[in-house]
Amino acid sequence: MSNLIPDLFSVKGLVVVVTGGGSGLGLYAARALDANGAAAVYVVGRRESTLKEAAKTAVNGNIIPIVGDVTDKASLQAVAERVRNEQGYVNLLFANAGVSGPKVRDSIPTLAKGEKPSIEEIQRGLWEPEMQAFTQPSHVNTTAVFYTAVAFLDLLDAGNKKRNVSQDSQIVVTSSVAGFSRFLASGFAYSTSKAAVNHLVKMLSTFFAQQGHHIRCNLIAPGYVLSKAKA
């Protein structure tokens, strides 16, 4: 029993993929994994320069940058194929990439000042963003999470079969407290997308368990976190 806690929280030897790993929470996670013994931490994002800078911060040199777009199936497949060729398996997939979408306070100045806007101001401000701008957070924060998970399923299964670590393979998704709250965070589109991904994670977890595959699915729901740039 004395080794239970260290073993339970150990990341030693893990092969990990972190989307949105060039900045913010993704980068913090990648650094922590590298510093605590992960064998390889692939950080995925669209900005090559950001990813390379992230890789330089690895104390053990195990952060590996891969340029990829989680909203593109071909790009996801290419990222998975590289990991497949270099490692052959994955123990942890951290689906962290996300966007905020239209911010209500940007289009309703009165609200931004802490005042109560008129119904006309609310209507005008909420009508301002195009529908595509409203649906974009769902595309990135929910749809792309789903396809990211699917792209790495065989590698996660291979991690279970390899048994290089005691834990079952796992998918962790970055959600937000906004997905659980009825109060406005940055915007309606963002909170809606996070509420959707919360349920998606529940469904994936249950589905894999029902099919007898030991791939755990969990999420984290942080509050406001500063991030310099999109990964």
* Tens-place pLDDT, residues 164-219: 998 999 999 999 999 999 999 999 999 999 999 999 999 999 999 999 999 999 99
* Tens-place pLDDT, residues 72-123: 999 999 999 999 999 999 999 999 999 999 999 999 999 888 899 999 999 9
Catalytic one of 23, 107, 175, 193: 175
pLDDT of the residue at 17: 98
Query: Can 28 be counted among the known catalytic residues?
Result: no
**Of 54, 63, 56, nearest to 22 (Cα)?**
54
What is the Cα–Cα distance from 215 to 169, expressed in whole angstroms? 5
Q: Are strands 92-95 and 15-19 parallel, antiparallel or unpaired?
A: parallel
Question: DSSP character for 147?
Answer: H
Residue 114 lies in a domain: no
Q: Is 44 exposed, middle or buried (0-12, 13-18, 19+ CB in 10 A)?
A: buried
Residue 107 lies in a domain: no
pLDDT of the residue at 117: 95
| Confidence tier at 5 by pLDDT (50, 70, 90) | low
For residues 230 and 25, the answer to whether their CB atoms sit within 8 Å is: no
Residue 108 lies in a domain: no
HSE, CB side, 13 Å, CA atoms: give it for residue 160: 15
Q: How many domains does the chain have?
A: 1
Query: Can 190 be counted among the known catalytic residues?
Result: yes
Residue 202 lies in a domain: yes
pLDDT of the residue at 223: 87
pLDDT of the residue at 64: 98
Query: Can 194 be counted among the known catalytic residues?
Result: yes
The per-residue b/e assignment along 205-221, b for 16 or more CB within 10 angstroms, e otherwise, is beebeeeeeebbbebeb
Catalytic one of 107, 138, 190, 193: 190
* Tens-place pLDDT, residues 121-144: 999 999 999 999 999 999 999 999
Residue 230 lies in a domain: no
Query: What are the tokens at 186?
Result: 């940055």
Residue 18 lies in a domain: yes
Report phi then psi at 128, rounded to 5: -60, -50
Domain around 91: 4-101+137-220
The CATH number of whichever domain residue 204 belongs to comes to 3.40.50.720
Residue 116 lies in a domain: no
* pTM for the predicted model, two decimal places: 0.92
Residue 17 lies in a domain: yes
What is the Cα–Cα distance from 40 to 159, expressed in whole angstroms? 13
What is the Cα–Cα distance from 197 to 110, expressed in whole angstroms? 31
| Confidence tier at 3 by pLDDT (50, 70, 90) | low
